[in-house]
Every structure is written in C-alpha cells, then in structure tokens.
A and B are shown apart, each in its own frame.
Chain A
Amino acid sequence: ELQLVESGGGLVKPGGSLRLSCTASGFTLSDHNMNWVRQAPGKGLEWVSSISRSGNYIYYADSMKGRFTISRDNAKNSLYLQMNTLRPEDTAVYFCARVSGSYDYFDNWGQGTLVTVSS
C-alpha cells in the first residue's frame, strides 16, 4: 500500500529548530519529485518547498528561504525538512506530498505532522 508518513513535529520555542521526516512506503521515492506543504490552523494550504528526484533542483517559498532546508535520502525512502529560526507564524500542520510521476500534480499526501511554535 502506498503511504507517506510524516514525523518530527512538536512544540518548539520561537527561534528554535525542528527536523521533519517523511517516510515513503509502497513505492520508490527516487521516482518522484517531492514537496512539503503546510496549513496553519484554520487556514489554507501553503506551499513550502520542492525537491527533484535526484535532489539536484530545490525550490522554496520566499518566506521560508534561508530558514528551511529540504533534503532527501532515496536509499532510505525518506524526505526531510530542517526548519531553523522558527517563528510563531510557522505553526502549522506540515504535509509531505508526492508529485505524480507523469504529471505535476500532488497525487499522494501524508496525514501531516503538527508543528507548534510558542513560548
């Protein structure tokens, strides 16, 4: 069964760091571009970052650039998001999302992991 499972969320103080993981099963991670998308409580979807199959191409939303780092380990079938200098406005559920192999839409999502930034 195809599955994406995020982990690593939790409560962190402003200025702190957190590393999220997304573990894939049921498919080969290296066959797909991957993304992180977040959703603040009661708000809409916000794209965070994308990484190509090999990790050679990486893009970030402007508000995350310089603070967040996306990476992947295809051998471990895992995607990561290192988040530094966290702010209260980074509080959100963070989803990892797989890009369809043939097209550029998100065809599978994890259930998300909640990150709360608060003192």
Chain B
Amino acid sequence: SYVLTQPPSVSVAPGQTATITCGGNNIGGKSVHWYQQKPGQAPVVVIYYDSDRPSGIPERFSASNSGNTATLTISRVEAGDEADYYCQVWDTSDHVVFGGGTRLTVL
C-alpha cells in the first residue's frame, strides 16, 4: 500500500516560514491535499490539488508537489497556525492515504 511520510514535528518562530514535507513514491504524479487540525477540532482543508487554496484560507499558505515530495509552506507564521497538519492522496486502488501528521509548534 502507498505510504506518505511526514516529519513528526516542525518548530518555527512567529513571523518566520514553516515548511512541512510529505514524502511518497512519485507523489508528484498524484494530487495532494493538506489539512490543518487544531486540538479537539475536526480537520480543515488548507490546500487542495497540490497548491489551490479554499476560500477563507490565508495566502500565507502555499504548497507544491514534485518528484517524491510534496511541501506545505506557511509564511509569516502566527500563533494561530499552531496545529497538526496532514497530507492526503488517493492511491491507485481508490483508497485514501493520510500522512502520519506533523505538529507545527510556534515558538
């Protein structure tokens, strides 16, 4: 089965840029979606189809996908961005695959 690998944690100071990676075999050939989940809440999509932002998501959130790595970038990080972030794809057998999640800590 397809596996997505994320770093367990990323720490960044306010105002700096956070980069969260999602590794998978030829993930560049798939569409990657990113979700933000805050404690006690349901996930919310922040990026869909590799790099598109839903309405209401700040422009500070951007993403790319190429080769074996998809990347979520959060610019000018704010305290409110502290959350768990998950990447997600559909594999070839119509199964959903989530990455293990990355906890973003704002120092």
Which residue, B37, B43, B100, has most C-beta atoms of chain A within 10 A?
A: B43
Q: Mark A68-95, 1 if CB is under 8 A from B, else 0.
A: 0000000000000000000000000001
Complex Cα gap A46–B86 (Å):
11
Identify the closest chain A residue to B95 (Cβ).
A59
Q: Which residue of A lies closest to B43 (CB)?
A: A109
Which residues on B sit within 8 Å (CB–CB) of A112?
42
Structural contact, A106 and B1, CB atoms closer than 8 A: no
Choose from A45, A50, A104, A111 the contact partner of B86 (Cβ within 8 Å): A45
In the complex, chain B residues whose CB is within 8 Å of the CB of A105:
33, 45, 48-49, 88
Q: Are A46 and B49 in contact (CB under 8 A)?
A: no
Cα distance A105–B35 when bound, in Å?
Answer: 10
Question: In the complex the two chains form, is A45's CB within 8 Å of B45's CB?
Answer: no
Chain A 98-112 near chain B by CB (<8 Å), digits 1 or 0:
001001111101111
- For the complex, what is the distance from the CA of A106 to the CA of B48, rounded to whole Å? 9
Chain B residues, Cβ within 8 Å of A103: 48-49
Complex Cα gap A107–B95 (Å): 17
Query: Contact at B98–A111, with CB atoms within 8 Å?
Result: no
Residues in chain B near residue A44, CB distance under 8 A: 84, 86, 98-101
Q: How far is the CB of A50 from chain B (nearest CB, A)?
A: 7
Given contacts A95-B42, A106-B45, 8 further A-B contacts (CB under 8 A): A37-B98, A47-B97, A61-B95, A103-B48, A105-B49, A106-B33, A106-B43, A107-B45
User: Residues on A close to B: CB < 8 A?
Assistant: 35, 37, 44-47, 50, 57, 59, 61-62, 95, 100, 103-107, 109-112
